[in-house]
A = this chain, B = another copy of it.
């Protein structure tokens, strides 16, 4: 068992090990789309791991669309040729844990998009929900209380109004990590919050006016502080 890079936990490590062994097996046997993989039981004894571990690895590859399982039948190679199969598995194996800088970089990218789309596509109901989130945020700040949660919900409301379920999913994925790191690095100080109210209002007004360009500009201003953490953003 090769221990190349120390992973965050043991479980993640052995799953990657299994995935790479599955890749090797697919290559060795020249499995093509539609071909059947050995049963979970056989793989587990061949790799000398528990069946649960094998199932976990298969489900991961299934989530990337590389395999598919038919109940009471078997696990099969998806409709992806060997070249792409190898390339994608290798990419999956070398995926790094997202760090704070790339999280922020990605969040800014996504939000500058969602705010434009929200300005273009928002319904009256969307607008109302954004306004409610804005007021809840402002109220909290005026009381001098911490308003990180309300801040977050304002941005999520905009993402929802953008009407892009894929981006929405991504926003939800990175949000908790962002919060954790914000707290760790003390990005959001109390004094920032007051200026934040007006910035939020500006964004809201631009969405209300259905002006995508203005909305994007105002969001950029709102993200000015974050830019410090994130070089090479000048779109």
- Which residues of A approach B to under 8 Å, CB–CB? 64-66, 78-81, 83-84, 87-88, 91-92, 95-99, 102-103, 105-106, 109-110, 113, 116-117, 120-121, 136, 148-150, 152-153, 156, 160, 163-170, 172-177, 179-180, 183, 232, 235
Contacts and interface: CB of A to CB of B under 8 A. Distances in A.
Given A120-B232, A149-B80, A172-B91, A164 B105 contact: yes
Contacts of A152: 84, 87
Contacts of A113: 109, 235
Contacts of A66: 176
B166 A80 contact: no
A36 B136 CA distance: 28
B232 A183 contact: no
Nearest to A100: B166
A66 B179 CA distance: 11
Contact of A102 (B99, B116, B165, B172): B165
Contact of A174 (B78, B109, B166): B166
A78 B176 CA distance: 10
- Grouping DSSP codes into helix (H, G, I), strand (E, B) and loop, the A interface class, with mixed when no group exceeds half, is helix
A205 B97 CA distance: 30
A81 B176 CA distance: 12
11 contacts: A65-B176, A65-B177, A79-B183, A84-B148, A88-B172, A88-B176, A95-B169, A96-B165, A98-B165, A102-B163, A105-B166
A80 B179 contact: yes
